[in-house]
Structure 1
């Protein structure tokens, strides 16, 4: 009886990861869950968002430069 149980356990240990790998790599699953979720998190570029981000970067650059100049003038 011990050999049969060991064979069952071996088949279970091997079949579970293989089955999960096979299921997770189905094209329908990938398209339905992964790609849609990625588009929710990272929406396609919009011109208004891009301009807003560029303006924010410019403000941060100016603030950083002002801080550096202020520190240099104090020394």
Structure 2
């Protein structure tokens, strides 16, 4: 009885994690749970948001260029 019990326990201990891994890596489960959850947390960008972000990036780029230009002119004067 001791060997049979140990074999049964070993099969149980190994089959549970393997089964859980197999179930969690099914494509249907991934599509159903993970993708939908991601879309809830981070909805796709809208055109207005994208244009606003691009405008902000352009303003920041201009500020950085102006600052660098001012620093370059200041260093030339010294």
Q: TM-score range by the shorter chain?
A: 0.7 to 0.9
Q: TM-score, normalised by structure 2?
A: 0.73
Pair member with larger Rg: 2
Q: Which consecutive unaligned segments of at least 5 residues does structure 2 have?
A: none
Question: After TM superposition, which residue ranges in structure 1, 4 or more long, deviate above 4 angstroms?
Answer: none
Q: How far off is 1:14 after superposition? A: 1.7
Q: Deviation string for 1:13-65 (max 9, x for gaps)?
A: 321221111221231x2222201112123322311011111111101101111
Q: Which consecutive unaligned segments of at least 5 residues does structure 1 have?
A: none
CA RMSD of aligned residues (A): 1.9
Q: How far off is 1:66 after superposition? A: 1.4
